């Protein structure tokens, strides 16, 4: 093992701190480091503490949640290409939020949470139902069914918002982004993050064993049914919370776990921590690019993330990693 593989977690923590600070300072206007301590009385202090800090926190946590739910989904389905966005789980949460909004529900945090959880859950059940065969989850059916279903749902989301003239209102949901993040949303994300991390930690040995073939896993005494339910619950919760705050951001769940296992191959237990951190680093960096790359224009996060994910998928295919296990 190289030194950077051994100290990967420490390196990621360092990176995370750097990008968190950079994210707060950067934007349409860059602040100086010293202005962080200027207090909330001044204008720059207000902007920093009331807008940029909650936004930065949201991006860190959404990135971590999406990366972890991708890792869980890949472990469950025995498929490195599985991702909540590819399987339509993001899109389901998204559609539910838009339908709820159009139907006149106020966009309180409570409403967004239950709406997105319901949407994500229904989408998850539908896609898993499509993928189930007598031998368990068929990987190819999962990916194909999920992709088609995801596209279908996204179309409905767009259609509804176009027909009701609400594309501007739901811009954040449709293209993803953190420009309107609040401390309330951060609190929600923090609660979900704690639940997800605790759940994964509690069942980590089981999840680690799921990476082996089904027969071996069962032989070792893993009750796969229980683990499936726990993992499904955590995936839906993590994805729903991420979508409720950050909108429909794809490919993080695909790319980050892939990247980590390429840098340092290992079991679920070994990769969980670094995947969590790397998700946060990636999303915070992407958010900084989204708000600072082009002055006074907010780049769509979904596009940025897809750009990165698309490139990664391309590299994976070109360099011959086995993308779909059949």
Partner 1 sequence: MTENMISAQHLSAGYGHHVIINDQMIQIPTGKITGLIGPNGSGKTTLFNVLNGFEKPLAGEVRLSGHTVSDLTAKQRALKVACLCQHPTAPDGITVHELVGYGRYAHHVGLRHSKKVDSRAIAGAIEAVHLTTFTNRQVSSLSGGQRQRAFIAMTLAQDSPVMMMDEPTTYLDLTNQLQILSLLQELNQTLNKTIVIILHDLNQAAAYCQHLICLSGGQVKAVGTPREVLTQQLIADVFQVAAEVTYDQNQDCPQMLNCHPLEVVS
Q: How far is the CB of 137 from partner 1 (least distance, A)?
A: 16
The number of residues that bind partner 1 (CB under 8 A) is 24
Chosen residue from 64, 153, 209, 278 binding partner 1 by CB under 8 A: 209
The yes or no reply on residue 211 touching partner 1 (CB under 8 A) is: yes
x/- letters, 270..289, toward partner 1 (CB under 8 A): x-------------------
Which positions from 140 to 169 touch partner 1 by CB under 8 A, shown as an x/- string? ------------------------------
Nearer to partner 1, 164 or 223 (CB): 223
- Which of 164, 205, 229, 322 touches partner 1 by CB under 8 A? 205
Residues 123-142 that bind partner 1 (CB under 8 A): 134
- CA atoms in the 13 A half-sphere facing the CB of 93: 32
- 268 makes contact with partner 1 (CB under 8 A): yes
Under the criterion CB under 8 A, does residue 264 sit at the interface with partner 1? yes
Among 14, 39, 151, 265, contact with partner 1 (rule: CB under 8 A):
265
Residue from 42, 216, 229, 322 that binds partner 1 (CB under 8 A)? 216
SS (H, E, C) the chain: CCHHHHCHHHHHHHHHHHHHHHHHHCCCCCCCHHHHHCCCCCHHHHHHHHHHHHHHHHHHHHHHHHHHHHHHHHHHHCCCCCCCCCCCHHHHHHHHHHHHHHCCCCCCHHHHHHHHHHHHHHHHHHHHHHHEECCEECHHHHHHHHHHHHHHHHHHHHHHHHHCCCCCCCHHHHHCCCCCCCHHHHHHHHHHHHHHHHHHHHCHHHHHHHCCCHHHHHHCCCCHHHHHHHHHHHHHHHHHHHHHHHCCCCCHHHHHHHHHHHHCCCCHHHHHHHHHHHHHHHHHHHHHHHHHCCCCCCCCHHHHHHHHHHHHHHHHHHCCCCCCCC
Residues constituting the chain: 326
Tell me which of 104, 129, 221, 295 binds partner 1, using CB under 8 A: 221
Can you tell me which of 148, 155, 218, 293 binds partner 1, judged by CB under 8 A? 218
Q: Where does this chain touch partner 1 (CB under 8 A) — which range of 34-42, 102-110, 173-181, 219-227?
A: 219-227
Contact positions with partner 1 (CB under 8 A) in 1-30: none
In degrees and rounded to multiples of 5, residue 179 shows phi and psi of -65, -25
Q: Which residues lie across from 137 on neighbouring strands?
A: 132
Site for partner 1 contains 215 (CB under 8 A): yes
Asked if 197 touches partner 1 (CB under 8 A), the answer is: no
Least Å distance between CB 225 and partner 1?
Answer: 9
Write down the least CB distance from residue 296 to partner 1, Å: 45
Where along the sequence are the contacts to partner 1 (CB under 8 A)? 134, 202, 205-206, 208-209, 211-213, 215-216, 218-223, 261, 264-268, 270
């Amino acid at each position: 093992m190289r030194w950077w593989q051994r100290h990967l977690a420490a390196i990621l923590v360092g990176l995370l701190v750097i990008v968190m600070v950079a994210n707060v300072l950067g934007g349409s206007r860059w602040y100086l480091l010293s202005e962080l301590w200027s207090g909330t009385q001044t204008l720059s202090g207000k902007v920093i503490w009331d807008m940029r800090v909650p936004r930065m926190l949201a991006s860190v946590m959404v990135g971590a949640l999406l990366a972890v739910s991708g890792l869980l989904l890949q472990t469950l389905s025995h498929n490195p290409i599985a991702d909540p966005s590819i399987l339509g789980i993001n899109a389901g949460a998204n559609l539910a939020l838009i339908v709820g909004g159009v139907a006149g529900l106020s966009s309180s945090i409570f409403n967004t949470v239950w709406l997105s959880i319901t949407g994500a859950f229904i989408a998850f059940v539908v896609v898993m139902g499509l993928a189930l065969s007598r031998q368990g989850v068929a990987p190819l059916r999962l990916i194909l069914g999920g992709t088609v279903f995801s596209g279908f749902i996204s179309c409905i989301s767009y259609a509804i918002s176009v027909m009701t003239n609400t594309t501007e209102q739901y811009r954040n949901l449709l293209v993803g982004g953190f420009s309107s993040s609040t401390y309330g949303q951060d609190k929600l994300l923090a609660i979900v993050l704690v639940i997800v991390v605790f759940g994964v930690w509690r069942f980590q040995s089981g999840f680690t064993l799921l990476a082996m073939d089904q027969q071996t896993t069962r032989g070792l005494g893993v009750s796969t049914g229980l683990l499936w339910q726990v993992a499904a619950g955590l995936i839906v919760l993590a994805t729903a919370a991420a979508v409720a705050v950050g909108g429909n951001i794809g490919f993080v769940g695909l790319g980050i776990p892939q990247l980590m296992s390429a840098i340092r191959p290992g079991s679920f237990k070994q990769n969980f921590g670094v995947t969590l951190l790397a998700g946060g680093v990636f999303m915070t960096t992407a958010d900084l690019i989204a708000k600072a790359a082009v002055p006074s224009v907010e780049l769509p996060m979904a596009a940025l993330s897809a750009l990165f994910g698309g490139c990664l998928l391309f590299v994976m295919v070109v360099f011959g990693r086995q993308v779909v296990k059949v």
